[in-house]
Structure 1
Amino acid sequence: MRIDNYGTFAQSRLLSDTGKNGDVSLPDYSDFNFNTKKAPTMSNKKYREAIIAQAKKDQFAGKFQSDSTGFKNLVKSYVSTVSPDRKNIIKDGLTAIFKNKYPQPTTLNLIDYLFGNVKYRKEATDVSYAEFYDSNGEMVASYSNGKWISYGTKAENARESELCSIYNAAWNNAARASQKNSYVASTDPSIGSIDTSV
């Protein structure tokens, strides 16, 4: 799960080759833990069907949640529909930081109604720390010592919890059905019997 703003655990990622803004390498938005706003790829009904189908497939394969690439892809797609536009919040925030000539820590007002704001520490052209906020005032990302951290918003965390609830129920139902079928097979003498008379 992405981290909500009130948690003490964060998803930290090393920099990637996704480009730079000033001297700061940008985060990898294709990473499972670093979402940015995307249009839904299917309706909520189709998402629900896909989540249930993935849970059944994973249970049959002996996988659960993050062990499954299919599950991770579904989470990313499902949650990204309510994600803030982290890509533009970070891009605009870094652009504003590098335009500001003051080396002291400061807060910039970045078209608050659209992009929120950013808090940072900069000396000359070296940014050592920055926080990025959406228009709701929720911190959505931070940059520190060459690493990016993504913080889940309330909407993202609620959507991921919803997906996990659907997935877990379907996975558990598939597991019970599998156990029931195994029990029936092991107690039915006509299944698996070998004719030893020759």
Structure 2
Amino acid sequence: MHIDNYYTFSQSRSLSSAKKIGNVPSPNYTDFNFNTKKAPAMSDEKYREAIIEQAKKDQSAGKFQSESAGFRSLVKSYVSTVSPDRKNIITEGLTAIFKNKNPQPKTLNLVDYLFGNVKYRKEATDVSYAEFYDSNGEMVASYSNGKWISYGTKAENARESELWGIYNKAWNNAARASQRNSNVASIDATIGSIDKSV
């Protein structure tokens, strides 16, 4: 188990019961936080334009970030271009675990976890714990107690932070523009009412 993922976020997610390998149901790859590698839907410049437009649209609708389905969709698409192939990593990992006939020790101690000696725990045909790593050695997912947890890689975290920066700046600019327009309308209404009273 690696414990040096400095900027990693993790998200616990429900299982997708559609497909199983052994006793382990596959994670739900359509979930907002469980990304797997996808080809970019557009160029980075087009993504930037789409993020800015989404921020303006969300601001005028009174929504911010994950309150907006459009934002969530953009994040998933934008981040998954740098995601590891979690689906393949998990499928291959589980397949290898279930092919291994050697039982794992029944008792695991803290030292085993801290120094990375334990990657999964299996008794007979049931897996109760497993970790999955990409080719960079970063943990990308784990399965424990019937739940999947997705861990963001450094590349995913950086790309998501980049998106937030673009979105937040555009959203704040749209909010300021809306406030200015509201103030101008208020001044115009006041001037109009003064003119009528004169």
Share of identical aligned residues, percent? 82
Counterpart of 1:158 in structure 2 is: 158
Query: For 1:5 and 1:173, how far apart are their aligned partners in 2?
Result: 34
Q: Secondary structure at the match of 1:17?
A: strand
CA offset at residue 22 of structure 1? 1.0
Query: For 2:192 and 2:93, how far apart are their aligned partners in 1?
Result: 66
- Which residues of 2 match residues 1-198 of structure 1 at below 5 A? 5-6=5-6, 10-104=10-104, 119-189=119-189
Query: For 2:79 and 2:194, how far apart are their aligned partners in 1?
Result: 52
Question: Per-residue CA shift, 1:90-136, capped at 9, x if unaligned?
Answer: 0000000000011115xxxxxxxxxxxx9100000110000000000
Q: Secondary structure at the match of 2:119?
A: strand
Counterpart of 1:111 in structure 2 is: none
CA contact (8 A) 1:185 1:191 kept: no
CA offset at residue 194 of structure 1? 11
Letter of the 1:119 counterpart: K
Counterpart of 1:112 in structure 2 is: none
Q: How many residues align?
A: 182
Query: For 1:26 and 1:20, how far apart are their aligned partners in 2?
Result: 6
Query: For 1:192 and 1:16, how far apart are their aligned partners in 2?
Result: 61
Q: CA RMSD in A?
A: 2.2
Q: Secondary structure at the match of 1:30?
A: coil
Q: Secondary structure at the match of 2:143?
A: strand
Letter of the 2:165 counterpart: S
CA contact (8 A) 1:18 1:28 kept: no
Counterpart of 1:115 in structure 2 is: none
Question: Per-residue CA shift, 1:12-64, capped at 9, x if unaligned?
Answer: 01212231111100000000000000000000110000000000000000000
Counterpart of 2:112 in structure 1 is: none
CA contact (8 A) 1:86 1:140 kept: yes
Name the one with the larger helix percent. Answer: 2
When the two structures are superposed, what TM-score results if normalisation uses the length of structure 1?
A: 0.86
Question: Cα 1:103–1:19, aligned 2, differ >3 Å: closer, same or farther?
Answer: same
